[in-house]
Amino acid sequence: MARKKLETLTEQMFYVLLALRTERHGYGVMQYVARLTQERVTIGAGTLYALLDRFEKDGYIHRTRTMESRKYYVISPQGEERLQQEYRRIRQQARDMERALGEEEPL
- 39-63 pLDDT per residue, tens: 999 999 999 999 999 999 999 999 9
Work out the burial of residue 105: count CB atoms within 10 Å of its CB; fewer than 13 is exposed, 13-18 middle, 19 or more buried: exposed
**pTM score > 0.75 for this model?**
yes
Which amino acid type is present at position 81? Answer: E
pLDDT band at 103 (very low <50, low <70, confident <90, very high): confident
**pLDDT tens digits for 12-40?**
999 999 999 999 999 999 999 999 999 99
- What is the spatial distance between Cα 84 and Cα 99, in angstroms, rounded to a whole number? 23
* All domains in the chain, ordered by first residue: 11-101 (1.10.10.10)
